Amino acid sequence: MRTLDRYFLRSFFTSLLWCILTFVSFYVIIDLFGRLDEIIERKTPVEIVINYYLSLIPLVFVRMCPLAILLSTMYTLANFSKNNELTAAAAGGIHPHRLLVPFILSGFILSLTSMAVNERNVPDAARNAYRIKEIKIKGKKEQHLWRDRIFYGSGNRKFYVKLLDTKKNLLSNIEITEYSKNGLELSKFHANRGKWVNGEWIFYNATLREFDSNGKVELTTYADEVKVDEKGWIFLKGALSTREGKKFFERRTAELSRIEEIPEDFTKKQLRPEEMHFQELSEYIKRLQKMGFNPQAELVSLHNKISLPFANLVVILIGIPFAIRQRRGGILIGFGNALAICLIYYLLQAVGNVLGESFMPAILGAWFANAIFAAYGIINLSQVPCLSS
């Protein structure tokens, strides 16, 4: 690496570090003042408050990174341009475009870093921050009674529970619908009551309807009690109803896949995309697709997990021409330009998301803003006088 590259990178990363620290500090201070009344009223221990804001740092970092990178790029290059350092380097035989390689390479590396933090740290940290805020700071009690829970689980199944008591592990009015890969209903199970005991499900007053390829009921099983464990579904003291008639039985085993879920799974609220890992969101989308639903919005969110971190590279392509042309105004003008550019980017990102959820493929919607900004940035780079030689 050349001495000039190290000089450029040292100036850039020094500015970037100060920008990130400043933005994160501002966010924490503003949020702290907004929650100060709750913290004082409930006498929340200092260590809990510290843990809450430490959990927020990964999410704040990812969100503020594009603005910090853009401002650092514009500030660093504007200073170089004012002091004629870029012109001097070009006069020394270095191609003008070669001077920008450290910045573009840094943007690429920072994009990968942001993607890694967004995948590895943000989901768990965001969940932890939400739990601390709701229980430790706001003082809400942990809920144990849940009503009208809908859950998309394993085995292409949709679960509905009218009432769930997680303290007693009891359920009432349970409905389990199993779908084929094409979204057709294969079976529908209903029970008046259910409970979770020693690692197995026990249901009472249950009915299982199995459908043929035309959606008509092919087989109906009634049972006083149903046990579901690793060995399968066991129906006790019931009747089997077919088109030929009805047969009574004391014990019958149904060829259905086991239930992977436990009572706590039904209490999970649908997480926001930033609270889900890439693999979790991908598996959720697959479950929806297998059950015949159209997860277009979720697909856009999935592609955004890759496209949004690359905003760090795209804003550098936009910021370089602005910085080199900026001869006056100092850091305030640079900050204003950086803020305006980021606002326009997020506006285009929102437009792309809407288009991706309705008119165009999800991947194109997610990359809509990046494509426009990258093209605009490259065109502007070619038109900057000191870079077009």
Contact 324, 384 (CB under 8 A): yes
Helix or strand holding residue 240 (H, E): strand 232-241
Domain ranges of the chain: 3-137+287-387, 155-260
pLDDT at position 222 is 92
| Segment of 36-50, 83-97, 316-330 carrying the highest mean pLDDT | 36-50
Within 10 A of 384 (CB to CB), how many other CB atoms are there? 19
SS3 content of the chain, % helix, strand, coil (to 5): 60, 20, 20
* Mean pLDDT on 123-137: 78
Is the CB of residue 206 less than 8 Å from the CB of residue 226? yes
Q: What is the CA radius of gyration of the chain?
A: 29
Q: How many C-beta atoms lie closer than 10 Å to residue 1's C-beta?
A: 7
Distance CA 215, CA 211 (A): 5
Q: Does the reported pTM lie above 0.75? A: no
d(CA 217, CA 63): 52
189 contacts: CB under 8 Å, gap ≥ 6: 174, 175, 176, 177, 178, 203, 206, 207, 208, 209
Q: In whole numbers, what is the pLDDT of the chain averaged over residues?
A: 81
Alpha-carbon gap, residue 90 to 94, rounded angstroms: 5
Look at residue 230 and tell me whether its pLDDT is greater than 70.
Answer: yes
Return the minimum-mean-pLDDT range out of 2-6, 10-14, 69-73, 348-352: 2-6
How many residues does this entry show for the chain?
Answer: 389
- Residues 367 and 353: their CA atoms lie apart, in Å, by 9
CA 353 to CA 360: how far, in whole Å?
Answer: 10
pLDDT tens-digit map of 79-110: 776 766 666 666 666 666 676 788 888 889 99
Please give the CATH number for the structural domain made up of 155-260.
2.60.450.10
